[in-house]
A = this chain, B = another copy of it.
Amino acid sequence: MTTLDQSFAALADPTRRALIARLAEGEATVQDLARPFSISQPAISRHLKVLEDAGLIETRIEGTARPRRLKPEAVAELWDFLGQYRALWDVQFQRLDAVLDGLAAHEQGTPEKPKGGHDGE
């Protein structure tokens, strides 16, 4: 039942993540998607089926072509799941924040962001 199973499993494959990255730029056919990869067209079609079964993409029919597009709203469930643990992460860093405060503000704009600045609500 859990679609989290399918979604996480779908994203566990680097080829599928690359397909998603490509689709983030816009609709693409199987041909378009297969071209940059060194794997066969049937393999791509199967990856796309996995992504679609997970609800991450959807298919439109146009002649013989089947352009795929992202369904970004599918990310919501994963986002919420991770959000639970990101909250813990923030809590952990609250202590670190205190330490950093004690060390005085000696640097600004370091690669590490003590104040969890990851999302954009």
Contact = CB atoms under 8 A, between A and B. Distances in A.
B24 A85 contact: yes
Copies of this chain present: 2
Interface band, chain A? 35 or more
A77 interface: yes
Given A72-B89, A83-B119, 16 more contacts: A5-B12, A5-B13, A8-B12, A9-B9, A17-B81, A24-B88, A72-B88, A73-B89, A73-B92, A78-B82, A79-B86, A79-B118, A79-B119, A81-B121, A86-B119, A113-B121
Interface of A: 2, 4-5, 8-9, 11-14, 17, 20, 24, 70, 72-73, 75-90, 92-93, 113, 115, 118-121
